[in-house]
Chain A
Amino acid sequence: MIQIFQLYVFILAGFVGFIIIQRVPPLLHTPLMSATNAISGISLVGAIVAAGGQYGRLSTILGFVAVVCAMTNVTAGFLITDRMLAMFKGQVKTKAVVAKTEPAK
């Protein structure tokens, strides 16, 4: 039964994702990809449990490596998204129009 609920959540989330992401303009497609990439670093949550759960030495080592990788993914993903979004500037849209009214020859 639990798995049915999980499937529900998966399909609903996928649906929401589909509706929202379709509306992201091509302008921001690269930040979109790095954003979803950062968000999927949520595997970190699973990695933390694996690393801290004392399931034997090998599991702890694998879990530790997983934490490092997922944390790298999360940190790098969110930071680069922020760096990119900070660069997008769109306030001077009218400038070109103003300039055009007086064609300098």
Chain B
Amino acid sequence: MNELGTRDLIIQASYLAASVLFILGLRSLTKPPQARLGMQQAAMGMLFAVIGTLLNSNILTYQWILIGLVVGGMIGYPMAMKIKMTAMPQFIAFSHAFGAIAATLVGVVEYRVRSGATGEEGLSHGLAAALGLEVLFGALTVTGSFMAFGKLQELITGRPITFKGQNAVNLLMIAVAFTALGLLIVNPMNGAAFYTVLGLAFLLGISMVLPIGGGDMPVVISLLNSYAGLAAAATGFAIGNNVLIIAGALEGAGGFILSLMMSKAMNRSFGNIIFGAFGAAPTKSTAAKGEAKEPRSITPEDAAVQLAYASSVVIIPGYGMALAQAQHVCRELMELIEKKGGEVKYAIHPVAGRMPGHLNVILSEAGIDYGALLTDVDDANRVIATADVVIVIGANDIVNPDAEDDKSSPLYGMPIFRPWTAKAVFVIKRGKGTGFSGVENPLFTRDNTLMLYGDAKGVLGSLVKEIKALDEGH
């Protein structure tokens, strides 16, 4: 590296170009109309980085690289083209796991090679630290992402899985892992320490995600996003590659910001989400409050009349809407109301869905203009307060008034939508059960709330039918 040859210059230039394109790509996401082009340019950046790397003089054979690239492309392409937008969180978790496997394996190879070499090529303390952190974050992300994938795909129950002394066990594992990391840094040739870090990180990924409930998945996915970035950055430190450090830092920052935003949107701390096992303890704390008021229900016919003459309608979708694949019929309903002169907006809570921004994607997939999506809780509440009808579709905790009224509620303090401030509220719900967190929702028994029981897609479908029938009746 002392004398840079032309080859090295080209490699470094390709990495610089890649880094700049990555940053510009992320910046384009701040302006939705330019986002697509910007990210296509970032993909070009990735191509530059790969081409630059292929020129590396340490590479002696290309066959395995090329086969690997082709196989990876063949797995990735159909995955990306076929996946449903509702399954996006699982997909992201899966993709995180794959990236992290790569980072972890590179760490293992690098450690094997370096610990066998001596002198300049050997292991320094700094390098050992980088490799240790790389496999720590990498392995943690691999198993953590697979667990998250399993929960989202419902291969594992979405309820928190807990056992006595779980937090103590986790803390002990963390302590041992960091001790091993310390030993590795002091003595880089300590292979046992290296593999202890690796093994414990795999276990930690499992044991830290298992107790987290499905409703908290937006935070988990964001955190894993951050860890995957840190693993990539540590890889960059280990192999002395700036583009890896930059890309890793960008992802690390992105995941970190998102997880902060998500926990803020739930009014909870990281610690509470990771160690709290939400939903396990507070089962029906408010159910015992007496006044066994029954929710009143309404027929689709009557609801359709109100909707047809409403001049302002706000729809609050939750994950239930996504599960029922009701976004397309939702747009149909929206178009009908708009044709009749009403205005329809959507209020999207930051933690609605199973990952940050999930429902925005699902509604956009149905062709709904993003000008109609209100993503700020305060803005949305202002619109809701003047609305004639609010329709809550498959959402529960994000419209629970206990978050404002009941200090004993586990939801207390969470910023929520206030549908009861509108003239009328329709709640589309499958049955009379509680939400994901297992908390009762007093919204359902408010005076201006009317329930429409049934599958979201079916209920919306009959609303559409009834509104159309009104027209024909004239």
Contacts and interface: CB of A to CB of B under 8 A. Distances in A.
Contacts of B373: 27
B46 A20 contact: no
Interface in A1-47: 2-3, 6, 9-11, 13-18, 20-47
A84 B361 CA distance: 7
B39 A81 contact: yes
- Secondary structure dominating the interface of A: helix
A86 B258 contact: no
A65 B371 CA distance: 44
Given A67-B64, A80-B80, A55 B102 contact: no
A47 B49 CA distance: 12
B469 interface: no
B279 interface: no
Interface in B304-360: 309, 311, 338-341, 343-344, 348, 350, 355-358, 360
A26 B39 contact: no
B50 A39 contact: no
A38 B29 CA distance: 14
A95 to B, nearest CB: 8
Contacts of B60: 52-54
Nearest to B59: A52
A29 B237 CA distance: 28
Contact of A74 (B46, B241, B253, B261): B46
Nearest to A50: B109
Most buried by A among B77, B244, B350: B244
Chain B interface residue bracket vs A: 35 or more
Interface stretch (B152-160, B362-370, B396-404, B421-429): B362-370
B13 to A, nearest CB: 14
B33 interface: yes
B78 to A, nearest CB: 9
Interface residues of A, number: 92
A54 B56 CA distance: 13
Interface string A68-85: 111111111111111111
Contact of B106 (A24, A33, A63, A100): A63
Interface stretch (B183-191, B222-230, B455-463): B222-230
Given A40-B251, A71-B76, A82-B40, A10 B228 contact: no
Given A31-B361, A82-B39, A13 B371 contact: no
Contact of A16 (B83, B250, B309, B343): B250
A98 B54 CA distance: 56
B251 A51 contact: no
B232 A18 contact: no
Contacts of A59: 109, 112-113
Contacts of B96: 37
B12 interface: no
A103 B388 CA distance: 14
Contact of A86 (B25, B29, B36): B36
Contacts of A26: 261, 348, 350, 356-357, 360, 375-376
A48 B30 contact: no
Rank and list the top 5 A-B pairs by shortest CB-CB distance, nearest first: A71-B72, A75-B76, A29-B357, A67-B68, A17-B253
Interface of B: 18-19, 22-23, 25-27, 29-30, 32-33, 35-36, 39-40, 42-43, 46, 49-50, 53-54, 56, 58-62, 64-65, 67-69, 71-73, 75-77, 79-81, 83, 85, 88, 91-92, 95-96, 98-99, 101-103, 105-106, 108-110, 112-113, 126, 221-222, 225, 228-229, 231-233, 235-255, 257-258, 261, 309, 311, 338-341, 343-344, 348, 350, 355-358, 360-361, 364-365, 367, 369-373, 375-376
5 contacts: A33-B225, A41-B46, A49-B53, A69-B101, A89-B367
